[in-house]
């Protein structure tokens, strides 16, 4: 079969590139399940530690505890040397690479490696954030869960239970989402028999792109640019007329309301201290959905997870420049689970490509 007879799908859209038992993403009906459990139920009754163990092992461990790990001295030294202008995503990617170099995490990946790397990442990010502000890193408290411990290492004091619970819920909904760009990147790297740290570092690189992991911070900026709710509709219309994207709306997979957005909206509504901001977000969402339906009557565009992720992350007091990297902390569970799954029945991921360049020719005289 020649190249012109082969099916070609730009961006691999609609191409089934593998099988997974980790998450079922039902875009048409707006449903998401981790190993069969609905995301709403996991947020309501679970914790990030239990969800991570579910993804890694397939088992629901009711007393699972996942704490932040002490950052490696070598990683702290590397982070100290980075310019303060470096983005948090670049710093996290560098720290993960250092972790891999120091621990020597060889192929195949293990559950123990997945736990260790997922526990290390929040401490590394918190250390970078403090070093950037001229402060010393804080040692983790092993009695705290991962989300609570991350906030503690950022600020040096235990967070309010509501804030810790809100961030834990965000970690749950961000943990896994099928063959998205960063997860697929991680599986490609693992398929070459590379190590889990290299796979996660590559995934962070993919997530760094604003079309994948940067949207929550842009949602905050977008809501500030709109001004008051009364000005929102004019701002939205002008944005769409310029052909620009409205951040927090639309998804490659979901044609119905993103179930992760629904779960996080409930969490955001329960947060103290963000009432005015949340009221504005809810009002703007209603306007945006109405205008989007007018502009795209044949293509449903609904609220996605980034919209209410912005509300939750704003509510727990994180700086917007930490939003993408905090998303990466959550996604460590899914990335590493996919590394484990890929390694179980590994096949090198190596798709074909269609050549569209010049025909064979000779160099000029």
Which residue shows structure tokens 């700086």? 319
Residues 284 and 329: beta-carbon distance below 8 Å:
no
Alpha carbon distances (Å) from 78 to 96, 128, 281, 294: 11, 10, 39, 51
Tokens of 168: 């834990």
Q: What's the rounded Cα separation, in Å, for the pair 2 and 328? A: 41
Tokens of 217: 């911070």
Where does the chain have alpha helices with state H? 39-45, 48-57, 73-81, 88-103, 111-132, 146-155, 161-174, 181-191, 196-207, 215-226, 229-241, 259-269, 275-295, 305-315, 323-344
DSSP letters of 253-299? S-SS--HHHHHHHHHHHT-TT-HHHHHHHHHHHHHHHHHHHHH-TTS
249 DSSP 8-state letter = B
Which residue shows structure tokens 């029945």? 345
Alpha carbon distances (Å) from 201 to 144, 195, 300, 329: 26, 10, 34, 12
pLDDT tens-place values along the chain, 365 residues long? 555 667 888 878 778 888 999 999 887 777 889 999 999 999 989 999 999 999 999 999 999 999 999 888 999 999 999 998 999 999 999 999 999 999 988 899 999 999 999 999 999 999 999 999 999 999 999 999 999 999 999 999 999 888 899 899 999 999 998 898 999 999 999 999 999 999 999 999 999 987 776 667 788 888 889 988 999 999 999 999 998 888 888 766 656 677 888 888 888 777 766 667 778 888 898 999 999 989 888 888 888 878 888 888 888 889 989 999 999 999 999 999 999 999 999 999 998 888 889 999 999 98
Q: Is domain 215-315 classified as CATH 1.10.230.10?
A: yes
Catalytic residue from among 53, 148, 285, 306 = 306
Catalytic residue from among 177, 251, 332, 338 = 251
Tokens of 126: 């918190």
Which residue shows structure tokens 């927090």? 248
Q: What's the rounded Cα separation, in Å, for the pair 309 and 213? A: 11
- Hey, where are the domains in the chain? 65-210+329-344, 215-315
Q: What's the rounded Cα separation, in Å, for the pair 178 and 34? A: 10
CATH among 1.10.580.10, 3.40.640.10, 1.10.3720.10, 3.40.50.2300 for 65-210+329-344: 1.10.580.10
Tokens of 177: 């989402």
Catalytic residue status for 251: yes
């Amino acid at each position: 079969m020649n190249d012109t007879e082969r099916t070609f799908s730009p961006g691999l859209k609609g191409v089934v590139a593998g099988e997974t038992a980790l998450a079922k993403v039902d875009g048409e009906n707006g449903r998401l399940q981790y190993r069969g459990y609905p995301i709403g139920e996991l947020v309501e009754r679970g914790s990030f530690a239990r969800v991570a163990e579910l993804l890694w092992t397939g088992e629901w461990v009711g007393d699972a505890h996942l704490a932040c790990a002490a950052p490696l001295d070598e990683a702290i030294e590397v982070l100290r040397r980075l310019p303060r202008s470096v983005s948090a995503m670049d710093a996290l990617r560098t720290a993960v690479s250092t972790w891999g170099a120091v621990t020597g995490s060889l192929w195949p990946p293990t559950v123990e490696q997945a736990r260790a790397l997922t526990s290390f990442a929040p401490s590394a990010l918190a250390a970078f954030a403090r070093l950037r502000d001229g402060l010393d890193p804080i040692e983790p408290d092993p009695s705290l869960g991962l989300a609570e411990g991350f906030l503690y290492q950022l600020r040096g004091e235990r967070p309010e239970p509501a804030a810790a619970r809100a961030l834990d819920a965000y970690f749950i909904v961000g943990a896994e989402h099928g063959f998205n760009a960063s997860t697929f990147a991680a599986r490609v790297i693992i398929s070459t028999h590379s190590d889990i740290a290299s796979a996660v570092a590559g995934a962070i690189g993919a997530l760094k792109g604003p079309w994948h992991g940067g949207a929550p911070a842009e949602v905050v900026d977008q809501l500030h640019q709109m001004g008051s709710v009364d000005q929102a509709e004019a701002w939205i219309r002008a944005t769409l007329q310029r052909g620009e994207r409205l951040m927090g709306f639309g998804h490659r997979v979901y044609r119905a309301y993103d179930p992760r957005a629904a779960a996080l909206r409930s969490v955001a509504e329960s947060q103290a201290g963000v009432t005015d901001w949340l009221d504005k977000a809810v009002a703007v969402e209603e306007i945006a959905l109405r205008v989007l339906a007018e502009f795209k009557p044949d293509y449903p565009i609904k609220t996605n997870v980034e919209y209410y992720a912005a509300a939750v992350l704003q509510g727990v007091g994180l700086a917007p420049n930490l939003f993408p990297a905090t998303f990466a902390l959550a996604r460590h569970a899914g990335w590493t689970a996919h590394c484990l799954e890929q390694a179980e029945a590994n096949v090198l991921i190596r798709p074909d490509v269609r050549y569209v360049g010049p025909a064979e020719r000779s160099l000029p005289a």
